């Protein structure tokens, strides 16, 4: 974190949550993530995610994963339900799949529709 923030002068002033995270990590290591409030963790995570990071920077990537893990552990909001798929019959939902057999001509007609794009078809 220190090396990343040292690259750009003034970055600690512009990214105060990352500066605070840097100081906390230096003092207490990654264990400190278990004691930071969720709202601050989210802001730290957002600031860290906004920075251009080298994919090969394994320590920084590991920190990002630990930060996200701490956020998920503290977040009591249930994950959002997936939106209903509009073309499914009302008897079906996202947890079930209905499989039916079709004739070769029906398959060919559907294939033409998919080639023409949504809302279009053979004329």
Per the domain annotation, does 110 fall within a domain? no
Per the domain annotation, does 61 fall within a domain? yes
Q: Cβ-count burial of 71 within 10 angstroms (0-12 exposed, 13-18 middle, 19+ buried)?
A: middle
What residues have CB less than 8 Å from 98, skipping those under 6 apart? 89, 92
Per the domain annotation, does 11 fall within a domain? yes
Is 90 exceeded by the pLDDT of residue 53? Answer: no
Instruction: Quote the domain boundaries for residue 30.
Output: 2-74
Per the domain annotation, does 27 fall within a domain? yes
Per the domain annotation, does 33 fall within a domain? yes
Per the domain annotation, does 66 fall within a domain? yes
Per the domain annotation, does 92 fall within a domain? no
Quote the pLDDT of residue 66: 93
pLDDT, one tens digit per residue, over 81-120 is 777 666 655 555 566 666 778 888 887 877 776 555 555 5
Structure tokens at 120: 């279009």
Per the domain annotation, does 31 fall within a domain? yes
**Structure pTM?**
0.59
pLDDT, one tens digit per residue, over 12-35 is 999 999 999 999 999 999 999 999
Total structural domains within the chain: 1
Region for residue 45 given its phi and psi (left: phi exceeds 0; alpha: psi -120 to 50; beta: otherwise): alpha
Is 70 exceeded by the pLDDT of residue 58? Answer: yes
In this prediction, residue 43 has a pLDDT band, given cuts at 50, 70 and 90, of: very high
């Amino acid at each position: 974190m220190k090396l990343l923030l040292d690259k750009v002068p003034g970055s600690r002033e512009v990214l105060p949550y990352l500066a605070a995270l840097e100081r906390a990590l230096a003092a207490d290591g990654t264990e400190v993530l278990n004691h930071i409030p969720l709202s601050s963790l989210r802001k730290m995570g957002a600031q860290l995610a906004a920075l251009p990071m080298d994919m090969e920077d394994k320590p920084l990537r590991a920190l990002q994963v630990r930060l996200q893990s701490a956020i998920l552990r503290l977040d009591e909001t249930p994950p959002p339900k997936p939106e209903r798929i509009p073309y499914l019959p009302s008897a079906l939902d996202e947890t079930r799949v209905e499989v039916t057999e079709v004739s070769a001509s029906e398959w060919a007609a559907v294939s033409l529709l998919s080639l023409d794009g949504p809302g279009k078809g053979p004329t």
